[in-house]
Structure 1
Amino acid sequence: MGTVQLADGELNYQLEGPQGAPVLVLSNSLGTDLHMWDTQMPAFTEHFQVLRLDTRGHGKSLVTEGPYSIEQLGRDVLALLDALNIERAHFCGLSMGGLIGQWLGINAGQRLLRLVVCNTAAKIGSPEVWNPRIEMVLRDGQAAMAALRDASIARWFTADFAEANPGHAKRITDMLAATSPQGYAANCAAVRDADFREQVASIQAPTLVVAGTEDAVTPPSGSRFIQQQVQGAEYAEFYAAHLSNVQAGATFSHRVVDFLLNR
């Protein structure tokens, strides 16, 4: 574990893997932390120096006054790369992390080697979805986060996976209950306000778009839109709900590694 000092607080990160290998940045989903990628680490650290971070408002990173924006979160990633003297890196983000990846691809493509965006869309949800959630979390605090945790199992995993892997599902959903209400609400606003539908076609980094067949949060149609807009983008779809990296496990990891190694 390490921290980088930003202008307004500390960003928590973890860097693992062989020195000198290409760097792969992993960006968490809304309401999780860098440990959402634990399943991937054995496969990823075989080939890459893996840089995981807790997005602002999550895990052990700074919690500042909201609302946040995806641009702000993307600039946090660039500040982390600068602090660690990393000129270019692969980037893999899921859901909110996928929005951050799109922003980087649109606005800082020169810093990217290859881009993987998972279980995301160029626009996720509407104010009618996000605003009541933001209001509830700011009003009810940790009680609201606990309620969201209980509801998230059905959104993040298919019923058969959650039933067969209760411990695995609980480990991930407990991250949501532990997330700062202020940080969560501020990130909800960032997701609410992001809309890259008119810009995503400008991404030039080689891109892989990953979807979950049963993902009700970001359905495959939104992933297909990105794949169709980004020239040459590849597409992969797994039997999974919203957290395809957890549910598809090794299959997800191998597909991402194959893409990043261009094989």
Structure 2
Amino acid sequence: MPVLENKDITLNYVTFGDSRNPALIFSNSLGTNYHMWQPQIDALQNDYFIICYDTRGHGKSSAPKGPYSLDQLGQDVIDLLDHLNIDKAFFCGISMGGMTGQWLALHYPNRFYHLMLCNTAAKIGNEAAWIARAQLVRAQGLDSIAATAASRWFTEGFISNHPDIVNALSDTLAASSSKGYASCCEALAVADTREQLKDIDVAITVVAGTEDPVTTVADSQYMVDHIPNATLATIDASHISNIEQPQVFNQTIRKHFA
């Protein structure tokens, strides 16, 4: 699989579809990897040139010494687009990936046709809780975080009906880089775009899961209320809405990126 050797990071990425189609880049959530986008890859690769990558510290990307910053997470995307000679793309990021998308919309609006920010917020959680989680993971690893992840990611019904999917994602989290995960927690601890949302000058769709306990519909509505050109879309799902409701999620992409 191709990698981008860049600055302090070896970034793992993969592309699907015809490079003559409009580019669409996906950005994963904390504790996952690019494979979380398989339902979107399968459905959309005939219409888009799809680019997936593992966020630094995740998957097969390297985990350089942290803490990381939102600036680094966003700049990795721009450097990857430059590496692929892509001037402009669509963007879809979920949770942490949605925070990355906000940074991109603020700093590089001319590089994107439209950004979809999913199951995210202008400020996710609070600094003390993120720092405590980072310290826990650095000391004890990811097993305890992985053991409780499903309840934060999915509704009870989905957990009951799709144990294979849930267990695979939990296993991926448990096997992830503790150092990389903790360093991303430290980035999220201080990431806060609330005062900057008004300056976003590119089309935005904010996707909220109606059952999401982590980043709520109210968090999404706040973003829509403060971003000049933003639209809210809701999906009957919890935090990882692209996996819980893939068909609806894919339809949302098609509708808003049309």
Superposition TM-score, scaled by structure 1 size: 0.96
Question: Once superposed, what is the RMSD of the aligned Cα atoms?
Answer: 0.9
- Paired residue secondary structure (2:239): coil
Gaps of 5+ in 1: none
| Structure 1 runs, 4 residues or longer, greater than 4 Å off | none
Aligned residues: 258
1:35 paired residue number = 35
Q: Per-residue displacement from partner, 1:99-140 (whole Å, max 9, x unpaired)?
A: 000000001111111100000000001122112111111111
Q: Which one of 208, 221, 224 corresponds to residue 218 of structure 2?
A: 221
1:257, 1:210 → 2: CA distance? 13
Q: Per-residue displacement from partner, 1:193-214 (whole Å, max 9, x unpaired)?
A: 1000000121121111000111
Q: Is the 8 A contact 2:202 2:229 kept in 1?
A: no
1:212 paired residue number = 209
Higher mean displacement: 170-179 or 96-105: 170-179
2:9, 2:255 → 1: CA distance? 36
Q: What is the CA distance between 1:2 and its match in structure 2?
A: 1.1
**Aligned amino acid, residue 3 of structure 2:** T
Q: Is the 8 A contact 1:43 1:254 kept in 2?
A: no
Q: What is the CA distance between 1:242 and its match in structure 2?
A: 0.6
2:198 is equivalent to residue 192 of structure 1: no
2:251 paired residue number = 254
Q: Is the 8 A contact 1:21 1:49 kept in 2?
A: yes
Higher mean displacement: 119-128 or 168-177: 168-177
- Paired residue secondary structure (1:42): helix
1:179, 1:4 → 2: CA distance? 20
**Aligned amino acid, residue 109 of structure 1:** P
Q: Which one of 146, 171, 177 corresponds to residue 143 of structure 2?
A: 146
Q: Which one of 140, 163, 172 corresponds to residue 169 of structure 2?
A: 172
2:49 is equivalent to residue 49 of structure 1: yes
Q: What is the CA distance between 1:46 and its match in structure 2?
A: 2.3
2:9, 2:151 → 1: CA distance? 34
- Paired residue secondary structure (1:10): strand
2:208, 2:170 → 1: CA distance? 20
Higher mean displacement: 96-105 or 130-139: 130-139
**Aligned amino acid, residue 193 of structure 2:** F
Q: Is the 8 A contact 1:63 1:180 kept in 2?
A: yes
- Paired residue secondary structure (1:225): helix
2:84, 2:193 → 1: CA distance? 28
2:178 paired residue number = 181
1:45, 1:258 → 2: CA distance? 16
1:14, 1:219 → 2: CA distance? 31
1:257, 1:26 → 2: CA distance? 14
**Aligned amino acid, residue 240 of structure 2:** L
1:53, 1:91 → 2: CA distance? 12
Q: What is the CA distance between 1:230 and its match in structure 2?
A: 1.4
- Paired residue secondary structure (1:242): coil
**Aligned amino acid, residue 77 of structure 2:** V
Q: What is the CA distance between 1:165 and its match in structure 2?
A: 0.5
2:256, 2:98 → 1: CA distance? 16
Identity between Structure 1 and Structure 2 (%):
41
Superposition TM-score, scaled by structure 2 size: 0.98
Q: Is the 8 A contact 2:13 2:53 kept in 1?
A: yes
1:128 paired residue number = 128
2:240 is equivalent to residue 243 of structure 1: yes
Q: Per-residue displacement from partner, 1:219-251 (whole Å, max 9, x unpaired)?
A: 111111111111231111111111011101111
Q: Is the 8 A contact 2:26 2:92 kept in 1?
A: yes
1:208, 1:24 → 2: CA distance? 14
